[in-house]
Amino acid sequence: MGTIQKLFFTFFTLMVAAIGAAVFVLYSAGQFRTITPNFNGHCVAVTDIAGPEDIALHPSGNYAFISSDNRRQTAKGTPVPGAIYLYDLKDPSVAPVNLTPDSDENFHPLGLSFFQGEDGRATLMVVNRQSISPSLDKPNKIEIYDWKDGALTHRKTIGGFLSPNDIAAIDHDKFYATNDHGFVGDFSAFLESYVPLPVGKVGYYDGKKIFPVADGLHFANGISLSSDQKTLFVAETVGQNLRIYARNETTNALVLMETRDLGTGPDNISLGANGEIWIASHPQLLSFLGHASDPSKHAPSQVLRLIKGGAGQFVVNEVLLDAGDLISGASVAVSIGNRVLIGAVFEEKFLDCSL
């Protein structure tokens, strides 16, 4: 074979490999999926809240805590203060109240977890995502608040997590948290958003130190603990899986029981009153990334409800599939009876829906 033929063969091989890799990424991200809208409920948009990415219910069912942040401004290098809002479920005509009005531009809430003890003492834990991509210059943190008499009082800040995304409180000081990225830097974070690299982790904080308890996850995102605290649910967004762990209540170690393929990119996880699992997800991950940088581009949204069947296995039901007309890039779905609150990463609204 001559030199020209060898060069042509090498070029052709590389081109085919590149096309194959591109097709694989597009297929894995759901870009070839047809989005056929599916929703039988009715929704009212609650506006003027930037990036309501996560929602945590108060045990009374009377109100909800909502994390809010203008993440596009942060990405542009001109961050504005984020906020925690309180939404009155009994009187939704009342505008959500900003519970953290004195926060500065270093406060960027993401995942939330609320814990209330038998004595009534209550704690709200908040992921403070100061840098979208993991950065040593702007370390991400966990903020701990006491909730009393309708007000949040900041108690302490916990560092040490590279890229925390969501949090699951065990008590007033201990928690599990997901770590979605494994590398520092914009390019590495960009690569991890497209390629299913198993570098995501779950960490446990015992009130003093952080311990790794699960690894090998493809973008570890939402996390939620069962009401009896014996089972931990973790979403793998890029891996498109729900991981179900058994928790050792003495050692806090985790044992993987099941990996459930969802066929969509799960985001936050919430548990219903009857133990059902609610997951907001991104059926087309690349469309979501496009929406992240350009608000004029819609990103499909999907809401799943997993109900445990007679054999003890969870059955997946699609509650909502939307091309982005109702809401783009949905990140959380929380149920209260026949109502569902649906938040999103970048929208300036959330939905209060009746089923």
Would you tell me the crossing angle of helices 186-194 and 285-293 to the nearest 10 degrees? 140
Q: How far is CA 183 from the centre of its chain?
A: 19
Domain that holds residue 238: 33-354
Number of domains into which the chain is organized: 1
Q: Which residues pair with 66 in a beta bridge?
A: 55, 85
- The answer to whether residue 328 is domain-embedded is yes
Residue that is written with structure tokens 């401004």 in the block: 73
- The answer to whether residue 189 is domain-embedded is yes
Q: Decide if pLDDT at 3 tops 80.
A: no
Residue 192, pLDDT score:
65
Q: Are strands 109-116 and 97-98 parallel, antiparallel or unpaired?
A: unpaired
Distance separating alpha carbons of residues 346 and 338, to the nearest angstrom:
26
- How open is the CA angle 211-55-197, to the nearest 5 degrees? 45
- The answer to whether residue 137 is domain-embedded is yes
Longest CA–CA span in the chain (Å) reads: 82
Q: Mean per-residue pLDDT for 286-298?
A: 92
State what percent of residues in the chain have pLDDT above 70.
Answer: 87
- The answer to whether residue 19 is domain-embedded is no
Residue 134, pLDDT score:
74
Q: Mean per-residue pLDDT for 62-72?
A: 97
291 backbone dihedrals φ, ψ, rounded to 5°: -65, -35
Mean pLDDT, the chain, rounded, equals 89
Residue 17, pLDDT score:
42
pLDDT in tens, 124-162: 999 999 887 777 777 899 999 999 999 999 999 999 888
Residue that is written with structure tokens 């991200």 in the block: 29
Q: How far is CA 32 from CA 28, 35, 276, in A?
A: 9, 9, 30
Q: Are strands 141-148 and 42-47 parallel, antiparallel or unpaired?
A: unpaired
Q: Decide if pLDDT at 108 tops 70.
A: yes
Q: Mean per-residue pLDDT for 217-237?
A: 97
Are the beta carbons of 177 and 142 closer than 8 angstroms?
yes
Assign residue 313 the CATH number of its domain.
2.120.10.30
Residue 147, pLDDT score:
98
Q: How far is CA 117 from the centre of its chain?
A: 25
Residue 1, pLDDT score:
53
Q: Decide if pLDDT at 29 tops 60.
A: no
Residue 25, pLDDT score:
47
Higher per-residue pLDDT: 92 or 113:
113
Contacts of 102 (CB under 8 A, 6+ apart): none
Number of residues that make up the chain? 355
Residue 181, pLDDT score:
86
Residue 65, pLDDT score:
98
Residue 131, pLDDT score:
80
State what percent of residues in the chain have pLDDT above 90.
Answer: 77
- The answer to whether residue 293 is domain-embedded is yes
For residue 16, the surrounding DSSP H or E stretch is helix 3-28
- The answer to whether residue 295 is domain-embedded is yes
Distance separating alpha carbons of residues 298 and 97, to the nearest angstrom:
28
- The answer to whether residue 22 is domain-embedded is no
Q: Decide if pLDDT at 221 tops 60.
A: yes
Q: What is the pTM of this model?
A: 0.90
Residue 15, pLDDT score:
46
Give residue 278's pLDDT band: very low, low, confident or very high (50, 70, 90). Answer: very high
Residue 155, pLDDT score:
98
Residue from 108, 100, 34 nearest 75 by CA: 108
Residue 185, pLDDT score:
66
- The answer to whether residue 73 is domain-embedded is yes
